[in-house]
Structure 1
Amino acid sequence: MKKGILFLICLVVLIIVGAFGFSLMVEGSHFQYQEGTDTLIVDNELIQGRTIIDGSDVFVAIDIVDRFIYPFVDVITEEKRFFIPSKLTEFYFENSELDEFVKQKDFIMNFNLKEEEGNYYLPLAFLQNLIGIEVNYIEESGLVIIDSINSNGFIGQAIEKINVLQQPRLVSGKVTSINTGETVNIFSQSGNYYFVRTLEGKFGYVRKDKLEVENEDLRGQAEKAFKSREEWQPEGKIGLVWDYVHQFSKDRRGEEKLDAIDVVSPTWFKMTDSDGTLMNKGDKNYVVDAHEKGYRVWGLVTNSFDPDMTSEFLASQEAQEHFIRQILFYSGLYQLDGINIDFENIHYKDKDTFTSFVERLTNKLKKDNLVVSIDVTIPSTSPNWSMVYDRVKLGEIVDYVAVMTYDEHWAASPKSGSVASIGWVERGIQKTLELVPNEKVLLGLPFYTRLWEEEKIPGNRVKVSSRAYGMDKIKEILVENDAEIDWDEITGQYYSEYENDGKTYKVWLENERSLALKTTLVEKYDLAGIAAWRKDFEHEGVWPVLANMIKFGKTYNQILVELNK
């Protein structure tokens, strides 16, 4: 009898100790993650996998994406690209006409892969609305939580402060606690308990009577709409700079806002096939940063400067519509503000079909309030490079015409000379203004120059070759060769020449003074503004000069005084 009583007493003590002892256990169980590890949660599964947090995006290793999240991605690691069929994604345009047009036929989306230490990652936060997931990053713990929007999970709200338990029973260790009004994700039930996940990513059980369950899965409310942007009316003259992107955009988040610039135009889109297929090199972080700084972003699209491919493309209305669908999609996805059309080297016979294509493209883009600009050379007698542009009609169709007033002497020129002498630039603008309204014309400015190499060869001839350099690099070369630099009134540039290893080197320099002189044409002819090629070729002193002229009304003479101080 005494043994039975002793056993009961011990049992009661164990229950009491267990009830209190377990509640004081260190948080964590086989459902919990360890902070500092490379871990993510997909719905109610804890997964070990590589993740990268970069700005507003969360990147997840491709093998994890394929196995646990979204198995419909085609990856080509050699090209550092991945592909997703549009029919397997979810999106829509607020403009119903555009929505219907883009979805008439399927297309293959393509994006850059992120590579780090030989591993490849997909930008899941960026893609989340497209592929039906919700991505959250818990900065305090470094945990990534991914929910499948089409899963059967529900949302519960605590009606009072309650404990989240390790096991679905009264006597259990405590995982954590949640306060009144806090929500949890509900995945399943066990007797009188729900199996839940807190907002911090901790799993456990909560009594059913302590949660108010929503009638629908709130995770299904992710925003999939491509919102139409407001129509843009610039204040004063426009400053645009093209940003060349080979494959990946340069991270410019640490750079200061440039007063001279309103628009950045990254070279993100390239037609790669006569069926209108586009290569996409867009970067959401780039757009977010640009918008935070107050820039507009006009994505540049090119025809790869391939006249034969372009001719086949222009001959097919189906190819043109395929092209337009993709441009509309990427413009909505990245929330671009405009598109810059940079089609060059087009067969003259395609002049009219090219103009019709630009009109068809512009009509669609304008329905989404995108600004449309086109790049043209100066009027000349070159069929493919100049005469193919019907400047009168193009000027009526698009918002802006950027005149590429550079490459007076191009890379393969048989004669050394300036890239953009002031007389040649002004004549090019004058001829353009006979065909295009001045309020639509952007003056092209070169941030580069060419170093010409002249070598005497048999037959009393001179072999000429050149190489393009940015402003700072060409100055370094001239300093290394002790070359004198003198102002040339005729070209409106500094000129330098030196001898090395029996060869003569010549250069017509672009710098603050030469660019200021060219920029006087904006006021003289009341142009819309400037368009500079390209970012990272400039000397940093160029920016305040351009800002003072196109934004703050300073004259060329005033700039000269400041430069000579």
Structure 2
Amino acid sequence: MYRIIFSLIFVFLFVSLGQICAFDKDLYVESYPSNFAGEVLKNNDGLFMLANNIKLVTKKNFLINPKEKRVYIFDVKFNLPDRKRISLESVNFPLKIINKNYYVDLLSLSSLFGFEILDKNDYYLLEQGKKLKMPSNKEVPTGLVALGFSTARNFSDLKKIDLNSNINTLCFTWFSLEDGFGNFSNNADIGVVNYLHEKGYKVWGLFNNKFNPDLTHKLLENKYNVENAIKQIVMYATIYHLDGVNVDFENFRELDKNNFNYFIERLSERLRNMNVLLSVDVTVPNDNSSWSSCYDRKTISEFSDYVVLMAYDEFTRGSERAGPTASISWVKKGLDDTLKEVKPAKVLLGIPFYTREWIEDSSGKIISVKALDNKDLKEFIEANSISPEFDKKYGLYHISFYRYNLRHEIWFDDTKTMSNKLELIKKYNLGGFAIWKLESAGISSWASFSSAFGDKLINIGGIRNGE
């Protein structure tokens, strides 16, 4: 009996270890077995190579930044599909820590430096000479752009959300302005892009300015810095096979307005030659110099394919009184004012999948503001045993209750009020919508979208609608 038990344990351990070892293979460059380049690890997020072997594989100098978990590769030159040659002082890739060692995504390196990754069963072999090219499925989109922003950085993150047929485009927050010279930090994942392309989705990459006015001014005031930023965007769009680029520059000075126009115009020219779409995020028109009047919406729309109208944050942390994130009348006015300068077909209406909980003292002074995702609303309402009431003034549902002599307030959309916002898309013949963000969606978030655009979830192993 004991022999049988020990035999079963041995077989189990052997199979388990075999499965673990199957994820680890030796890596060789160009010729086997002379140029050994360490070990490749494979998991659900892709293929990973020890970052210390970058020079052997790419013949480029590099620097590992442990604090940022990023590796910088210097003096990179490559030819774009339109035969234009780009030279960059540096590019960077995110690092993954595995067994206390730093690893870099091998597929991303392959896309940039032009080598094939050949699976030889017992080992991987890298062969040089692969031509850098964009995917062939770059047709111009027709119909509604149904976009969902996402903060997912890899396939493991993507599994935490469900992909919805109401969405045909995903835009990932992968790139941030790193300095005033136009360099962007990179958190992209080519495996996520390839997977979504196989499922029929379009993938855009978001490039932000960290909402830093000083950093943005330094970039925009110098045409050399602007050109470097454009090269970086074009390069990342190319190696990650992006269908579109989204520029999310916020909180910059009104005096930089014309220079921002120049940046968008030059970027548009480069992306158009590659058949990559350009969208630019703008706020609703108002008198705020750094959050609204810094945008020349008319000029921006002339050079971009789409303008994403961020029709949310009607009331924010800095507001003097409590209020909704996006009341229907405020959204409509912001849309009407925007359409005075931008053609309807170019506008993507921004829709928030979040709200805020406001906490006030007995004098009405705001002492705390907390963000609350749609997916957490149901649990919040049940935990506090409250019944929402319709607020006619704002066209939203409203919650108000007291705890420890402090007043708590929340305004939020339900299926009916969300449908009213979606009707604006049809009424004005807009180009589509843009949801911030997919990770915040709850079960009820999609009900009105499903009525308008269908209902079909593609589950990739995550938790349905965040629950």
TM-score interval (norm. to shorter)? 0.7 to 0.9
1:423 to 2:329 alignment: yes
1:146 to 2:125 alignment: yes
1:277 to 2:183 alignment: yes
- What SS does the aligned partner of 1:541 have? helix
Letter in 1 for 2:124: I
Match of 1:115 among 97, 102, 125: 97
Q: Which residue matches 1:476?
A: 379
Worse-matched range after superposition: 61-70 or 320-329: 61-70
Q: Which residue matches 2:80?
A: 93
Letter in 1 for 2:318: A
Asked if the contact 1:402/1:442 (under 8 Å) is kept, the reply is yes
Q: Which residue matches 2:49?
A: 60
Q: Which residue matches 1:234?
A: 141
Q: Which residue matches 2:401?
A: 498
Letter in 1 for 2:248: D
Deviation digits for residues 117-174 of structure 1 (CA, Å, limit 9, x no counterpart): 4332122233135446543335xx6x33234x4xxxxxxxxxxxxxxxxxxxxxxxxx
Matches within 5 A, 1:39-54: 39-42=25-28, 43-45=32-34, 50-54=39-43
Number of residue equivalences: 433
Deviation digits for residues 314-347 of structure 1 (CA, Å, limit 9, x no counterpart): 1100000000001010000000001111111111
Asked if the contact 1:511/1:539 (under 8 Å) is kept, the reply is no
- What SS does the aligned partner of 1:115 have? strand
- What SS does the aligned partner of 1:527 have? coil
Q: Which residue matches 2:15?
A: none
Match of 1:124 among 106, 116, 138: 106
Asked if the contact 2:27/2:40 (under 8 Å) is kept, the reply is no
Deviation of 1:51 after TM superposition, in Å, equals 3.1
**Distance in 2, Cα, partners of 1:404 & 1:137:** 45
Root-mean-square deviation (Å): 2.6
Asked if the contact 1:95/1:228 (under 8 Å) is kept, the reply is no
Question: Cα 1:448–1:250, aligned 2, differ >3 Å: closer, same or farther?
Answer: farther
**Distance in 1, Cα, partners of 2:399 & 2:249:** 34
Deviation digits for residues 360-387 of structure 1 (CA, Å, limit 9, x no counterpart): 1111111111111111111111111111
- TM-score, length-normalised on structure 2? 0.85
**Distance in 1, Cα, partners of 2:421 & 2:264:** 29
**Distance in 2, Cα, partners of 1:437 & 1:71:** 46
Q: Which residue matches 1:15?
A: none
Q: Which residue matches 2:158?
A: 252
Question: Cα 1:529–1:41, aligned 2, differ >3 Å: closer, same or farther?
Answer: closer
1:385 to 2:385 alignment: no
Unpaired runs of 5+ residues, structure 2, are 1-19, 456-467
Q: Which residue matches 2:275?
A: 369
Asked if the contact 1:415/1:464 (under 8 Å) is kept, the reply is no
Percent identity over the alignment? 30
Match of 2:426 among 516, 519, 523: 523
- What SS does the aligned partner of 2:207 have? strand
Matches within 5 A, 1:136-535: 136-138=118-120, 143-147=122-126, 149=127, 220=128, 222-227=129-134, 232-245=139-152, 251-252=157-158, 257-456=163-362, 460=363, 462-535=365-438
Letter in 2 for 1:146: L
Deviation digits for residues 401-435 of structure 1 (CA, Å, limit 9, x no counterpart): 11111000012212100000111111111111111
Letter in 1 for 2:151: Y
Asked if the contact 2:149/2:435 (under 8 Å) is kept, the reply is yes
- TM-score, length-normalised on structure 1? 0.71
Asked if the contact 2:375/2:443 (under 8 Å) is kept, the reply is no
Deviation digits for residues 23-49 of structure 1 (CA, Å, limit 9, x no counterpart): xxxxxxxxxxx9759441422159695
- Computing the radius of gyration from Cα coordinates, the structure with the larger value is 1
Letter in 2 for 1:496: I
**Distance in 2, Cα, partners of 1:506 & 1:364:** 47
Asked if the contact 1:228/1:368 (under 8 Å) is kept, the reply is no
Question: Cα 1:390–1:65, aligned 2, differ >3 Å: closer, same or farther?
Answer: closer
**Distance in 1, Cα, partners of 2:421 & 2:254:** 30
**Distance in 2, Cα, partners of 1:389 & 1:274:** 20
Asked if the contact 2:147/2:168 (under 8 Å) is kept, the reply is yes
Asked if the contact 1:133/1:146 (under 8 Å) is kept, the reply is no
Deviation digits for residues 482-515 of structure 1 (CA, Å, limit 9, x no counterpart): 1221222332221111111221110002333332
Worse-matched range after superposition: 360-369 or 313-322: 360-369
**Distance in 2, Cα, partners of 1:39 & 1:398:** 45
Question: Cα 1:488–1:56, aligned 2, differ >3 Å: closer, same or farther?
Answer: closer
Asked if the contact 2:283/2:310 (under 8 Å) is kept, the reply is yes
**Distance in 1, Cα, partners of 2:22 & 2:342:** 60
Letter in 1 for 2:26: L
- What SS does the aligned partner of 2:164 have? coil
**Distance in 1, Cα, partners of 2:454 & 2:384:** 38
Q: Which residue matches 2:69?
A: 80
